[in-house]
Amino acid sequence: MTLRDAKVGETVKVVKLHGEGAVKRRIMDMGITKGVEIYIRKVAPLGDPIEVTIRGYELSLRKADAEMIDVVK
């Protein structure tokens, strides 16, 4: 399951990051690392972007970035 598949109101835990080089580094720089919990706050009407709360701050992610993050409930 990826972050994109998570529903509004769920809290999920990151298990793996996909992607290469600069893209993966950018995701990690945003605080999304293995083991961190992410709360899904909102999803835009067309599904892009997704608003989440992570490490005490709010973050908006594009669908393409959310698909690179494997999570479990």
Question: Where is pLDDT greater, at 48 or 8?
Answer: 8
Question: Where is pLDDT greater, at 5 or 12?
Answer: 12
- Supply the DSSP symbol for 65: H
Q: Is the pLDDT of residue 18 over 80?
A: yes
How far apart, in whole angstroms, are the C-alpha atoms of residue 36 and residue 12?
8
Q: Is the pLDDT of residue 23 over 90?
A: no
How far apart, in whole angstroms, are the C-alpha atoms of residue 61 and residue 46?
13
CATH architecture, range 3-72 = Roll (2.30)
C-beta atoms surrounding 28 within 10 Å? 13
Per-residue pLDDT reduced to its tens digit, 42-69: 999 887 899 999 999 999 999 888 899 9
Task: Name the nearest CA neighbour of 73 among 37, 44, 49, 48.
Answer: 37
Q: What mean pLDDT comes out for the span 4-26?
A: 90
Percentage of the chain beyond pLDDT 90 is 55
pLDDT in the model for residue 8: 93
